[in-house]
Each structure stands twice: as C-alpha cells, then as structure tokens.
C-alpha cells in the first residue's frame, strides 16, 4: 500500500530507554571461540548490546515517555493517542498500551492500543498515527516502540545471542504542517523464516526465536529498494534530497548493501548498530535518538525511514518535519 503525501505530524522528540547492563560480544569468546566471535563482530558490526532479565516493555517505555513529556513540558492531559509497537508485550492481555496509559497518567479519553509488529513497526505506527491525527483532530500522540528480544533467545544460541539488544523508544508527535508519505507491505509466506513458534495458543510454551538469516537477507534485498522507490515517488522527492536515511538496524553488512542498492550516499546513512545490536521495532527511533545527538540542529529535516523483517513485513516513510526539540538515550538500572 502506497499512500499520498499527508499533512503529517511534527516530530517533537524521541527518547530511548535501555537497560544499563551491557553484554560485550567479545566476552562470548569463552563460549563460542575467539575466532568465531571475531568473524561475527566483523560481519555484523555489533560489538555490544543492552540486555535485561528483569525489565518489561512498559518499564522501559514509562521511563522514556516520562523523560520525553517532561523535556517537552507537555501536560499528560494533552495526549490523545498512545500506540505501543511490540512483539514482547507485558501480558497476553490487556494491551501494553493500556498498562502504559494508566502508568503515565494519560487521560481516559486517549485512544490506546498495541501493534504487534517487529522490525517494520515504527513506520507502520507513524502511518496509523498520522491518519488518526489527521482524521480525528488529535493534537498530540505518543508512539512507544520496543521489544525485549533477548528474553526469547538462549545464551547458548550462537546464531542469535550476539545479535539482539533490548530497548524501548518513545516518540512525541504533534499535529502540524509536516509532510509524510508511506509505502507499506507484507508477505506472510515468509513467516516460517523468522518466528517464535512457541508462546501462543497454537504451540504453548516459552517464546523462542528462530531466524533463517539467508532468507532474511534475500527478502530484504528483494523488497526494501522497491518500497523506498515507491515512497519517494509518492512524496515527490528523490533519494538525494533526503538529509538522513535510517534503515532498520539489522547488521552493518546488510545496511551497507541496502544503502548501496537504494543509491544513498555515505553521509546520508545512519548507523547505530555497534553499541546496541538489532533492537527490533526500536532500531529506527534509537538510531534517530543517537544520531540527532551527534549532529548539529537545523530548522527542519528530511528523513527516509525504512523497516523490514518478521512477517515478512516492510514499511517506508518519507518525512519532512521540523528538527525535534528533545532527543536522548537513557540507561535504566
């Protein structure tokens, strides 16, 4: 689905919260061998990852949202929409959005719901929020995106344990004169290649992540570039006009390959993989939090955001918005 340019929401701020505990991939040499870990780090670009055994999405999401709202000086009663994007909810029910609505003290008039999406979830959430804000006159909204993926992976899983990190990001949106266009798609035939078969009603038990990396790469090379092209065409822009290109932070090799394929310049590409790993639905807002803190502010910024993965599912947003007033990364004990 490719949509026309919308009167999009303004990006007012992003705060990402992550556990202060960090797992160094080099330390896994004792379990998997020094040569094996050196190859994994060289191929993925991932040196360390935030990990937790205790935090939930609502724990980290509440910290991020509180810091964001306080930084902006927004009253809780001004929030009309809360969307939580996660595949690792606190409970099967109620939704984590309802948990956070109460925890944050948001008004009962606010719509609050979850989107069960992973790596593609952030731009999907932006699409839903943009449409609801434009159609319903919602002035302010929060998107909470995050997963505690490491709880689905055994420490002995050599293929996956060095790749994933835990984090949750809060994004503040305000109705305004920004512009945004989207391309969204899905192909459920890819479900068996990136899946937790256990943990639901079909196969009860503890969730356990499985990933076929070869199939993930093949899917990404097939779908990302066409999605980017469609979104740019819908926005009436070219890749050269984008200030920053933020792709899902799966691994450094994939980012470099896809960046070349979509003809993005090196100075446009945003990398936030080395110190955080693959943080699923958090990876795009985390990369923005990290990058905005490293570069000088400007009046406005043109962003190309593209997420892709589990589902198969993909989403691209082309967004012209004022520079966010708040951008921060918080470490949580």
Which value, to the nearest 10 degrees, does the dihedral of the CA atoms of residues 55, 162, 288, 121 take? -70
For this structure, is 291 an active site residue?
no
Q: Whole-angstrom Cα distance, residue 187 to residue 40?
A: 29
Q: Are 175 and 9 within 8 A, CB to CB? A: yes
Q: Whole-angstrom Cα distance, residue 238 to residue 130?
A: 22
Q: Whole-angstrom Cα distance, residue 164 to residue 161?
A: 6
The one catalytic residue in 98, 251, 278, 327 is 278
Q: What is the DSSP string of 295-312?
A: S---SEEEEEEEEEETTT
Q: Whole-angstrom Cα distance, residue 317 to residue 305?
A: 5
Q: Whole-angstrom Cα distance, residue 230 to residue 189?
A: 22
Distances (CA, A) of 76 to 42, 99, 108, 126, 166: 45, 15, 11, 20, 26
Identify each DSSP E strand in 187-267 by its residue range: 194-195, 210-211, 244-247
Which value, to the nearest 10 degrees, does the dihedral of the CA atoms of residues 149, 96, 245, 48 take? -30
For this structure, is 98 an active site residue?
no
Backbone angles phi, psi at 53, to 5 degrees: -110, -5
The one catalytic residue in 25, 55, 98, 248 is 248
For this structure, is 248 an active site residue?
yes
Q: Whole-angstrom Cα distance, residue 34 to residue 40?
A: 10
Q: Whole-angstrom Cα distance, residue 148 to residue 163?
A: 13
Q: Whole-angstrom Cα distance, residue 119 to residue 294?
A: 24
The one catalytic residue in 119, 251, 306, 327 is 119
Q: Which residues are catalytic?
A: 119, 248, 278
């Amino acid at each position: 689905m490719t949509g026309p340019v919308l009167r999009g929401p303004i990006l007012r701020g992003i705060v990402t919260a992550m556990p202060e505990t960090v797992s160094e991939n080099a330390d896994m040499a004792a379990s998997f061998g020094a040569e094996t870990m050196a190859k994994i780090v060289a191929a993925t670009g991932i040196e360390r990852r935030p990990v937790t055994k205790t935090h939930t999405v609502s724990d980290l999401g509440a910290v991020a949202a509180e810091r964001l709202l306080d930084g902006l000086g927004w009253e809780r009663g001004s929030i009309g929409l809360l969307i939580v994007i996660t595949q690792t909810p606190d409970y099967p029910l109620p939704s984590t959005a309802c948990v956070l609505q109460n925890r944050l003290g948001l008004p009962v008039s606010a719509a609050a719901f979850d989107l069960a999406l992973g790596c593609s979830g952030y731009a999907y959430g932006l699409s839903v929020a943009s449409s609801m804000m434009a159609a319903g006159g919602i002035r302010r909204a929060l998107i909470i995106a995050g997963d505690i993926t490491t709880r689905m992976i055994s420490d002995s899983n050599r293929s996956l344990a060095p790749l994933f990190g835990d984090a949750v990001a809060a994004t503040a949106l305000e109705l305004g004169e920004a512009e945004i266009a989207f391309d969204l798609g899905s192909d459920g035939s890819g479900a068996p290649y990136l899946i937790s078969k256990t943990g639901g009603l079909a196969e009860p038990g503890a969730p356990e992540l499985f990933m076929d990396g070869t199939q993930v790469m093949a899917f990404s090379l097939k779908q990302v570039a066409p999605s980017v092209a469609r979104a740019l065409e819908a926005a009436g822009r070219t890749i050269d006009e984008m200030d920053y290109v933020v792709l899902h932070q799966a691994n450094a090799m994939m980012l470099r390959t896809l960046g070349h394929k979509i003809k993005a310049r090196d100075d446009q590409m945003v990398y936030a993989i080395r110190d955080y790993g693959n943080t699923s639905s958090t990876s795009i807002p985390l990369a923005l939090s990290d990058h905005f803190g490293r570069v000088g502010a400007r009046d406005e910024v043109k962003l190309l955001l593209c997420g892709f993965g589990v589902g198969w599912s993909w989403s691209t947003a082309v967004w012209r918005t004022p520079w966010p007033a708040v951008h921060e990364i918080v470490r949580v004990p």
